[in-house]
Amino acid sequence: MLTALAGGVGAAKFLSGLVAVVDPASVTAIVNTADDDEFHGLRISPDLDSVTYTLAGAQNVAQGWGLAGETFATMDALDRYGVPTWFRLGDRDIATHLFRTQALAAGAPLSEVTARIAAAWGLATRLLPVTDDPLATRITVRRADGREETLRMQEWFVKERSESPVVAVGFAGAETATPGPGVLEAIAGAETVIVCPSNPVISIGPILAVPGVREALVARRDRVVGVSPIIAGAPVKGPADRLMDPLGIEVSCVGVARAYADFCSTLVIDSRDASRVAEVEAAGVRAVVADTLMTDSRIAAALARETLASVA
Ligand code: FO1
């Protein structure tokens, strides 16, 4: 059984490659929930939905989130009422949020709702929210006048297009959150644990912040392998550099190695970073060089295969 720590887009691409080379039913994904938020009274779980839609082959590839062939008639109709619609909910995507919101309101934990949504999309892969408890990323930014302001994740990422300079990142609820059902067992029982190429700060960071999770990974360090989301000093997609740099994490595969060194024994880095193998290994992490730019599903499958082989 394989366990993967997953955030959004990068993880979803990697996971679709992984389930192409191993039995999908042998894979458990522990997914970040700290991007979750509520809009128009609906409970949104972006990373769980990105992974679900991608593994179902229904994702909007170009957009990087939501469903293929999506329409936004409901958002356009909402504009009449003057409510904020900067967080775009597609008409079909809304069905997922309606179902999730109603099931949560009826008392089901997020883990149960997630299992029902995954089953409805025909997934054999098990998706586990890292926690069923409240967990929310908070981004503190510095305004032009020097004032600091703390934003919700989607406000910073979507509304302000991740342009506001970051001074701090926190995970509200982390102290009291408990690992979701099956999470610690999935780490303890896995033959291999893969840290997907997700944002180290706001996708993998919240997963590690849930008490007990990082310790569980440290205990399996020799079986934990990561895939660097940073290639040649820049993230493949998304704002990882705008979060790592302010937090003093070098924006490179070396910075990732140092950040993961206590729980990750091997890091797969891109061929463009082959010259940095010695620095990664100086961080106490074995470096494996591969093509990590998943421009198509064949490359994603090859990367998954090489990642598994690196800790065989
Ligand atoms: N990202 C955007 O850049 N703009 C949006 O309007 C937007 C809407 C949205 C709706 C549902 C959903 O599941 C994801 C959505 N995302 C949007 C992406 C989302 O902000 C990110 O996927 C994660 O929060 C960060 O990985």
User: Does pLDDT of 241 surpass 90?
Assistant: yes
- Name the band, by pLDDT with cuts 50, 70 and 90, for residue 231: very high
Instruction: For the chain, give the percent of residues with pLDDT over 70.
Output: 100
Please state the rounded mean pLDDT for residues 230-240: 95
CA–centroid distance, residue 221 to ligand 1 (Å): 32
Q: What stretch(es) of the chain map to CATH 3.40.50.10680? A: 2-60+93-132+178-309
CA distance 94 to 100: 10
CB atoms within 10 A of CB 148: 10
Residue (of 61, 68, 45, 17) closest to 196 by Cα position: 17
2-60+93-132+178-309 fold: Rossmann fold (3.40.50)
Asked whether 94 and 42 are in contact (CB, 8 A), the reply is: yes
**For 67-91, what is the mean pLDDT?**
98
Residue located nearest, by CA, to atom 2 of ligand 1: 158
- Please compute the mean of the pLDDT values over residues 257-265 and round it to a whole number: 98
- CA-closest candidate to residue 311, choices 265, 274, 277, 278: 265
Q: What is the bridge-based pairing of β-strands 230-231 and 192-195?
A: unpaired
Ligand 1 centroid distance, CA of 32 (Å) = 14
Q: What element of type H or E holds 278?
A: helix 277-282
Question: Is residue 261 within 8 Å of residue 302, measured between CB atoms?
Answer: no
The mean pLDDT value for 266-279 works out to 98
Tens digit of each residue's pLDDT (9 = 90 or more) over 164-192:
999 999 999 999 999 999 999 999 999 99
* pLDDT value at residue 312: 85
In whole numbers, what is the pLDDT of the chain averaged over residues? Answer: 97
Helix-helix angle 110-120:93-105, to 10 degrees: 140
pLDDT of 72 strictly over 90:
yes
What residue's CA is closest to ligand 1, atom 23?
46
Q: Tell me which amino acid residue 280 is.
A: V
CB of 292 within 8 A of CB of 231?
A: yes
Question: Which element (helix H / strand E) includes 120?
Answer: helix 110-120
Index of the ligand 1 atom closest to the CA of residue 157: 20
pLDDT per residue as tens digits for the range 128-162 = 999 999 999 999 999 999 999 999 999 999 999 99
Q: How far is the CA of 124 from the centre of ligand 1 (A)?
A: 25
Phi and psi at 198, nearest 5°, equal: -115, 170
For residue 50, the CA-to-ligand 1 centroid distance in Å is: 9
Q: Could you tell me the distance, in angstroms and rounded to a whole number, from the CA of residue 142 to the centre of ligand 1?
A: 23
Compute, in angstroms, the gap from residue 153 CA to the centroid of ligand 1.
Answer: 10
Give the residue whose CA is nearest to atom 22 of ligand 1.
46
DSSP output for 159-184: ITTT-SPEEEEEEETTTT--BPTTHH
Ligand 1 cavity residues, CB under 6 Å: 8, 35, 44, 46-47, 49-50, 65-66, 87-89, 93, 154, 157-158
Q: What is the pLDDT of residue 152?
A: 98
**In testing the pocket of ligand 1, which one of 37, 48, 65 has its CB within 8 Å of the most ligand atoms?**
65
On the question of pLDDT at 278 being above 90, the answer is yes
Position 25 scores a pLDDT of: 98
Listed in sequence order, the residues at least 6 apart from 143 whose beta carbon sits closer than 8 Å to its beta carbon are: 149, 164
**Is the pTM value of this prediction over 0.85?**
yes
- Whether 253 has a pLDDT exceeding 90, the answer reads yes
At 71, give phi and psi (nearest 5°): -125, 160
Output the six-digit token pair for 163: 């342009």
pLDDT at 252 over 90: yes
- Burial of residue 240, with CB atoms counted within 10 A of its CB: 0-12 exposed, 13-18 middle, 19 or more buried: buried
- Distance in angstroms (rounded) separating the CA atoms of residues 134 and 212: 16
Contacts of 101 (CB under 8 A, 6+ apart): 41, 42, 43
Mutate to test the pocket of ligand 1, among 52, 87, 121 (most ligand atoms within 8 A of CB): 87
Expressed in angstroms and rounded, the spacing between residue 260 Cα and the centre of ligand 1 is 26
15-31 tens-digit pLDDT: 999 999 999 999 999 99
